[in-house]
Amino acid sequence: MKTIKLSGLFIATALIAFSCSKPADTVETSEAQEVAAAEGKTLEIVPDATTIAWRGYKPAGQHFGKIPAVEGTLAVKGEEITGGKFTFDITGLKIEDMEETDESYGKLYGHLQSADFFDAENHPNATFEITSVEPFNSGDVIADVEQFETDNTPLSSSELSPENPTHWISGNLTMRGTTKNIKFPAAVSLENGAVVAKAGFNIDRTAWGLAYGDEATAVDKAKDKFIYNTVSLSLDVKASE
């Protein structure tokens, strides 16, 4: 496994170029990979400072919110990050574009928790487990995927990425009983003895079986009744002793 050198975390990388790149330098989703061996000192996540922010899209609008972290660790050996695992509570999902007292909030929350989406009754948690970490080099770029154009076209991966990524992080993301490996750029820093990481990227929800309203049907696109398969995620992690 390639590891993070924390001593170089404050050095800004070159600006991201919005163009195609070789596959090794782009946001990727692939089959699950071997988990990195967690060696060295164990840091515990700070739950109040560790979340996944989500944003879903459809032609007629957007919904967004957060999924809270319930537990997690980050392993650090010397100046190197060697592994980590984080667990998020799907049942604690929040919708932030409407009031919780609204009837629509309850309907949307129930639908997201149902078998149409997360199937939270059977899969109440999501997990992310680090498989590798690599430096974000000055020549690396983030390639965007073409999206079906509407008034609410999803944000691109380059728009979601931190301004100055320091590393590429790969890890197994498990939702709804399905595990896929994702690779994305992140900005990682050491602040007052704590490791802080920020990342933003897109995933195709159907890869994890969240297939309700799949946009693949041309008829639905013509009627603007589909839900984009693209979901934007913003990951904030803080871990300390």
Query: pLDDT digits over 92-139, tens only?
Result: 999 999 999 999 999 999 999 999 999 999 999 999 999 998 889 988
Q: Are 206 and 197 in contact (CB under 8 A)?
A: no
* Mean pLDDT for the chain overall: 86
More confident residue, 171 or 10: 171
Each residue of 215-229: pLDDT tens digit? 987 677 777 889 999
The DSSP line for 155-187 is PPHHHHS-SS--EEEEEEEEETTEEEEEEEEEE
pLDDT value at residue 28: 82
Percentage of the chain beyond pLDDT 90 is: 68
Per-residue confidence at 26, pLDDT binned at 50, 70, 90? low
pLDDT value at residue 102: 95
User: Any bridge partners for residue 66, and if so which?
Assistant: 53, 94
Q: Which two tokens stand for residue 35?
A: 């988990």
User: Measuring CA to CA, which residue among 48, 24, 10 is closest to residue 141?
Assistant: 24
More confident residue, 43 or 22: 43
Q: Which whole number is the average pLDDT over 28-39? A: 90
pLDDT value at residue 5: 41
Whether the predicted pLDDT of 12 surpasses 80: no
Q: Which whole number is the average pLDDT over 65-81? A: 87
Per-residue confidence at 81, pLDDT binned at 50, 70, 90? confident
Q: What is the DSSP letter of 46?
A: -
Q: Which whole number is the average pLDDT over 133-153? A: 90
Whether the predicted pLDDT of 57 surpasses 90: yes
Mind listing the domains of the chain with CATH numbers?
Answer: 4-240 (2.40.128.110)
Whether the predicted pLDDT of 37 surpasses 80: yes
pLDDT value at residue 76: 79
Whether the predicted pLDDT of 88 surpasses 90: yes
d(CA 196, CA 44): 12
More confident residue, 190 or 134: 134
Supply the pTM of this predicted model: 0.85
